Amino acid sequence: MRMRYILSASIAAAGFLAMGSSISVAQEVPKTADQVARPGGKLPGDPKIALVKVAEGFLDPVGVASARDGTGRIFVVERQGKIKVVTKDGKINEKPFLDLTKNSPLGSEVQTGFVEQGLWAVAFHPEFKKNGYFYVSYASLPFNGAHIIARYTVDPASPDVVSVEHANKTVKVIMNIPQPYYNHYGGGIQFGPDGYLYIGKGDAGWEGDPLDAGQSKNMLWGKMLRIDVNTPDKVGYAIPDTNPWAGAYQDRMMTLFGITEEGFSKIHMGARGEIWAYGLRNPYSFHFNKKTGDLFIADVGQNHLEEIDWQPASSKGGENYGWKHNMGTNCHPMTGKDDKCPQVGVLPVSQYPHQEPYPGAEKLKDGWGCSVQGLGVANYDGMDGVFLTGDWCSGRIFGTGWDGSKWQMQELAQTALQFTAGNTDEDGTVLAVNCNCFYLDDKGAAANPPGALWKVVAADKVPAGAEVAKTKK
Amino acid sequence: MTIRALKTQAVALAAALLLVAPLATPSLADVEFKHALDDSVLDLAPIKGEEITDAVKSFYKDGVNPYSGNAEAIAAGKTLYEDNCQACHLEDGRGGMGPSLIDDIYVNARANTDVGMFEIIHSGASGAMRSFSERGLKQDEMLKIIAYIHTLKK
């Protein structure tokens, strides 16, 4: 009896071991810093990519999206406050799809004074084809730079141009979030597979998160927000009841006895119901894997590290990504290569350094950047759930993916482009836009040299005659 | 006879070269200017309102910056540097958002030469180092900036 018990246990153990070595493990969030991927890794299949130019001549393009309505149109967001339509055959319509620079006799709707301000993003309602709803996210000039998310409606009689009159007639303001400083707005918006609108909200600025926004659950800044926009016209939005702190406002009576400490820990007095995840610095670009529903967040770092977070489709929200106590696997403020501090919340899945990877470090010659821009999740040409990011300073494209047992981060190209944003088009191809708009180098949203729209293809599938982005040999 | 025939041929060849040469190579360049990222040949055509100065022409020929050590050009270069470069590379060139211009670490192998610096300023390198030609800076001004940057190195 005893013998048999031991025998069966050892058989089970052997079976378990065999599984571990031969069957790949479902991807998971790293539990220790050494599991976080860094440049120098290898993605499965060692993908080779090229960027093919789709169209050019956009003024500070900082956003791009597909309406997924079967038309094949690509919508490019210009920072100044216009959205341009690129038709299926790559032509740019002369008249903008939406023009927020002319919808008031007092001038533009959009504040563009600082390069992080402007019209950032457009997202189309999952039922856009039926209801014509699309959402924009921008810094408002009339509201002194506050972050506005508004809905507009397409006139079915004019699918490519929402006239100023129609725009003003159909506009519905969803949110108006005050902004104390002119940087770190966030601004990206995307509909999740659950039909809710996700908003990447920056920590509201300055540097070092002086407002302690990332960790304060009573503020919208420094978060991923999730809201339900399917509300009556007079109701801006609703809070999904499955948001982690949707019911926090109901905490009312203090009971000292009969409640466990775990029970007390679930009280989040005053937490904002809109919050989906927190502890973020400037998560303006984030992308869902359309195949799995997983979410990747590119969180722009401060002086030394750029961070990429991931949550599975099964996430219930409430993740704390650690800002401002941590950036990537390190401490904030970072004091050295192996600085020691508690790891707050959830680790990223990958990270890459700036040229000076920690204070006083020797400058890197390779594998660095300064500001991570999420482009999109690629599920083609050998890439399976690879999150592509482009760096604003170094022009590098890094791919982050799971190799069956751990996360990998691989540099796929170094381009001459200053990436600002990306997205996937109707058939899942990853798109990217680049500007020529760098801080003091900024000549103004309508005066900088124009940027372009690109798509990511396999290096051996570049169409004949296509213009390809320069890459480092 | 043989000699004369050869001579005629040579004259004809020379004439042919003279005829063909101006059509095939409109550039004055003896130095080959290449993009820092992929070594593709740069387009040095003048931008709107730009005159290719004698200093630039001379630089095309031998890659030597005629403004090196020239106090007047260096003073002009300082102003241009402050307008265009110091935001990222800082006023003393030690580097901030952009790399240091005064240490001996070069991401791009040619960047420690005047030709390499000119290539990067003119046509950009990667990411945030944009083409300053596209932003309206003239090639003569770039040479003055380079002359100034040298004075920052100690």
- Distance of alpha carbon B32 from the chain centroid: 9
Q: How much is the ipTM here?
A: 0.79
Report which residue type is found at A445: A
Question: Can you tell me which residue has the tokens 């945030």?
Answer: B128
Of B38, B105, B134, which has the smallest distance from its Cβ to A470's Cβ?
B38
Chain B, nearest residue to A304 by Cα: B97
Residue of A398, A411, A440, A468 to mutate, interface with B, max B Cβ within 10 Å: A440
Q: How many CA atoms lie within 13 A of A391 on its CB side?
A: 34
Residue of A418, A435, A471 to mutate, interface with B, max B Cβ within 10 Å: A418
Hey, are the CB atoms on B134 and A472 less than 8 Å from each other?
A: no
Question: A221-232, pLDDT tens digit by residue?
Answer: 999 999 999 999
CA distances from residue B81 to A187, A263, B78, B87, B124 in whole angstroms, order as listed: 33, 61, 5, 9, 16
Query: Is 90 exceeded by the pLDDT of residue A13?
Result: no
- Is A206 within 8 Å of A177 (Cβ atoms)? no
Question: A135-193, pLDDT tens digit by residue?
Answer: 999 999 999 999 999 999 999 999 999 999 999 999 999 999 999 999 999 999 999 99
Pick from A351, A194, A362: which is nearest to A281 by CA?
A351
Considering chain A, what is the average pLDDT of its residues? 93
State whether residue B87 sits within 8 Å of chain A by CB: yes
Q: How confident is the model at residue A91 (pLDDT cuts 50, 70, 90)?
A: very high
Residues of chain A with Cβ-Cβ distance to B124 below 8 Å are: 416
State whether the Cα torsion A389-A391-A397-A403 is positive or negative.
Answer: negative
Q: What is the largest CA-CA distance in chain A?
A: 90
- 3-state class (DSSP) for residue A411: strand
Give A 337-366 residues with CB within 8 A of chain B.
355, 362-363, 365-366
Average pLDDT over residues B7-33: 53
User: What DSSP letter does each residue of A141-198 carry, written as one string?
Assistant: TTTTT-EEEEEEE--TT-TT---HHHHHHH-EEEEEE--SSSS--EEEEEE-TTSPEE
A373 token code pair: 């821009």
Residues of chain A with Cβ-Cβ distance to B135 below 8 Å are: 436, 441, 443, 449
Average pLDDT over residues A184-207: 97
Backbone angles phi, psi at B4, to 5 degrees: -65, -40
Q: Which helix (H) or strand (E) holds A127?
A: none
The vertex-A352 CA angle with A313 and A113, nearest 5°, equals 85
To the nearest whole Å, the CA of B6 is away from the closest chain A CA by 46
Of A440, A441, A470, which has the smallest distance from its Cβ to B130's Cβ?
A441
Percent of chain B whose predicted confidence (pLDDT) is above 90: 65
Hey, are the CB atoms on B126 and A441 less than 8 Å from each other?
A: no
Q: How confident is the model at residue A258 (pLDDT cuts 50, 70, 90)?
A: confident
Of B35, B95, B134, which has the smallest distance from its Cβ to A436's Cβ?
B134
Query: Is 60 exceeded by the pLDDT of residue B4?
Result: no
Percent of chain A whose predicted confidence (pLDDT) is above 70: 94
Tell me the C-alpha distance between A321 and A315, whole Å: 14
Hey, are the CB atoms on B127 and A443 less than 8 Å from each other?
A: no
pLDDT of residue A54: 98
pLDDT of residue A253: 66
Hey, are the CB atoms on B37 and A470 less than 8 Å from each other?
A: yes
pLDDT of residue A19: 43
Tell me the C-alpha distance between A202 and A188, whole Å: 10
Pick from B67, B53, B56: which is nearest to B29 by CA?
B56
Query: Is 90 exceeded by the pLDDT of residue B63?
Result: yes
CA end-to-end span of chain B: 67
Tell me the C-alpha distance between A206 and A190, whole Å: 25
- Is A191 within 8 Å of A123 (Cβ atoms)? yes
pLDDT of residue A3: 42
Tell me the C-alpha distance between A234 and A250, whole Å: 24
Residues of chain A with Cβ-Cβ distance to B128 below 8 Å are: 370, 392-394, 418, 438
User: What DSSP letter does each residue of A328-397 carry, written as one string?
Assistant: TTEESS--STT------SPPPSEEEE-SS-STTPPPPSSS--S-EEEEEEE-STT-SSEEEEEETTT-EE
Residue of B80, B110, B123, B126 to mutate, interface with A, max A Cβ within 10 Å: B126
pLDDT of residue A10: 45
Query: Is 70 exceeded by the pLDDT of residue A11?
Result: no
Question: Can you tell me which residue has the tokens 């007047």?
Answer: B72
Hey, are the CB atoms on A443 and B135 less than 8 Å from each other?
A: yes
Chain A, nearest residue to B89 by Cα: A440
- 3-state class (DSSP) for residue A407: strand
Tell me the C-alpha distance between B107 and B105, whole Å: 7
Residues of chain A with Cβ-Cβ distance to B104 below 8 Å are: none
Query: Is 70 exceeded by the pLDDT of residue B6?
Result: no
pLDDT of residue B18: 43
Chain B, nearest residue to A420 by Cα: B127
Average pLDDT over residues A369-374: 96
Query: Is 90 exceeded by the pLDDT of residue A15?
Result: no
- Is A455 within 8 Å of A425 (Cβ atoms)? yes
Hey, are the CB atoms on A436 and B39 less than 8 Å from each other?
A: no
- Is A224 within 8 Å of A214 (Cβ atoms)? no
Residues of chain B with Cβ-Cβ distance to A471 below 8 Å are: 37-38
- Is A456 within 8 Å of A432 (Cβ atoms)? yes
CATH class (in words) of the domain with range B27-152: mainly alpha
- Beta bridge mates, A137: A121, A149
Question: A425-438, pLDDT tens digit by residue?
Answer: 999 999 999 999 98
Residues of chain A with Cβ-Cβ distance to B133 below 8 Å are: none
B105 token code pair: 């670490």
User: What DSSP letter does each residue of B106-135 carry, written as one string?
Assistant: -SSGGGGSHHHHHHHHHH--STT---TTTT
Average pLDDT over residues A193-197: 98
pLDDT of residue A443: 86
- Beta strand A197-201 pairing with A386-391: unpaired
Q: How confident is the model at residue B2 (pLDDT cuts 50, 70, 90)?
A: very low
pLDDT of residue B27: 55
Residues of chain A with Cβ-Cβ distance to B88 below 8 Å are: 438-441
pLDDT of residue A174: 98
Hey, are the CB atoms on A391 and B127 less than 8 Å from each other?
A: yes
Chain B, nearest residue to A440 by Cα: B87
Query: Is 50 exceeded by the pLDDT of residue B59?
Result: yes
Pick from B71, B62, B53: which is nearest to B142 by CA?
B53
Question: A227-256, pLDDT tens digit by residue?
Answer: 999 999 999 999 999 999 998 877 766 666
CA distances from residue A236 to A134, A141, A171, A230 in whole angstroms, order as listed: 14, 20, 11, 9
Question: Can you tell me which residue has the tokens 């939005």?
Answer: A237
- Identify the residue with better confidence: A107 or A146: A146
Hey, are the CB atoms on A436 and B128 less than 8 Å from each other?
A: no
Q: Please tell me chain A's helix, strand, coil percentages from 3-state DSSP, rounded to the nearest 5.
A: 10, 35, 55
Report which residue type is found at A260: T
Domain ranges of chain B: 27-152
A146 token code pair: 């506050």
DSSP state of A91: P
Q: How confident is the model at residue B95 (pLDDT cuts 50, 70, 90)?
A: confident
Average pLDDT over residues A204-218: 96
pLDDT of residue A96: 98
A298 token code pair: 């590119």
* Integer Rg of chain B from CA: 20
To the nearest whole Å, the CA of B41 is away from the closest chain A CA by 12
- 3-state class (DSSP) for residue A50: strand
State whether residue A398 sits within 8 Å of chain B by CB: no
Hey, are the CB atoms on A363 and B130 less than 8 Å from each other?
A: no
Residue of A56, A391, A438 to mutate, interface with B, max B Cβ within 10 Å: A438
- Distance of alpha carbon B79 from the chain centroid: 19
Question: Can you tell me which residue has the tokens 């001996």?
Answer: B104
- Distance of alpha carbon A207 from the chain centroid: 20
Q: How confident is the model at residue B14 (pLDDT cuts 50, 70, 90)?
A: very low
State whether residue A436 sits within 8 Å of chain B by CB: yes
pLDDT of residue A94: 97
Report which residue type is found at B41: V
Of B38, B100, B106, which has the smallest distance from its Cβ to A473's Cβ?
B38
A218 token code pair: 């009573």
pLDDT of residue A289: 98
Average pLDDT over residues A299-310: 97
Give B 9-68 residues with CB within 8 A of chain A.
35, 37-40
